[in-house]
Homo-oligomer: A and B are copies of this chain.
């Protein structure tokens, strides 16, 4: 996208989003903001009823909203059934990074002679691309990235600065890898013998499907034998750990600080809240949601929402209750005894 394209008329926006325009289509806008913050050259959106209160006062040039909220809108309307989706699409039109990286290999990048490059590949300063790598069309390798030997990165993928892709990793189309993430570090595998640990070389790889995003400083470890496999359209937040031979089904989303132990298989369309932990060798069905910081130690075979933990409370109250938790089995037994005594009396 060139600089010029970064202002759009409302009619252009309506056409790109498939929205119904009610108002002045010639007006040009240069950005996107919330109802409350939008200036007269920006578009706002209403995707959550909680913000309906901000609609009457908005100064936005236009508002993306669902048809049933149109009446209350004081400015030009862009009506859509899913205004949050419209917001997502519009946000990408105004993304200052989009198209900003010129193709070409920076002179300080170190690129092995046998690397296969698609069209319009960009490799940033101080990057390293090792022997045998294949980079598809329009791939962007950011500054300071390292792409290990024999890895393959699909067309349209972007590695932000300081990403590490280890050797023999396969990444699909349109991946977005954020800074500091590491794809293909060794899994954690050791045999125990004679009171010490003996390393198991991690001979598998990592395969990422299409449209995968991985957040900053996240780790996806390579398989021990066979690969760690991340499905299509899987979205992984920052500070996540995915151990060796884990499989994540298509369209699942993992929030920040999630940790998944070795060989666990997560289904499709799953959502793991922040800080969730899954033990190793589990099977998690399609459509499972786990709420934040829950620990799952057994397979989950039915879709649904799952949780663990106690909820937070005032520390003094918590101390009293936490002490009682340690007595809980005893409490339950005493209760049963009382019930029996009641029945027999």
Contact = CB atoms under 8 A, between A and B. Distances in A.
Interface of A: 31-34, 37, 82, 84-85, 87-89, 91-92, 94-98, 100, 106, 108, 110, 124-128, 130, 142-144, 146, 148-149, 160-162, 164, 166-168, 176, 178-182, 185-186, 188-191, 193, 195-203, 211, 213, 215-219, 221, 224-226, 233, 235, 237-241, 243, 251, 253, 255-257, 259, 261, 269, 274-275, 277, 279, 290-298, 304-329, 331-332, 334-335, 338-339, 341-342
Counted per complex, copies of this chain come to 3
Contact of A191 (B88, B124, B239, B291): B88
Most buried by B among A32, A127, A143, A306: A143
Contacts of A31: 203
A274 to B, nearest CB: 5
B110 A125 contact: yes
B292 A261 contact: yes
* Most chain B Cβ neighbours within 10 Å, of A100, A293, A339: A293
Nearest to A150: B96
B304 A322 contact: no
B322 A332 contact: no
Given A91-B203, A96-B167, A239 B255 contact: no
A295 B297 contact: no
Contact of A329 (B181, B216, B320): B320
Contacts of A162: 144, 146, 162, 164, 182
Given A238-B221, A341-B342, A321 B312 contact: no
A188 B82 contact: no
Nearest to A124: B128
Contacts of A95: 201, 203
A37 B332 CA distance: 49
6 contacts: A124-B128, A219-B238, A293-B295, A308-B309, A308-B313, A310-B310
Contacts of A237: 188, 241, 243
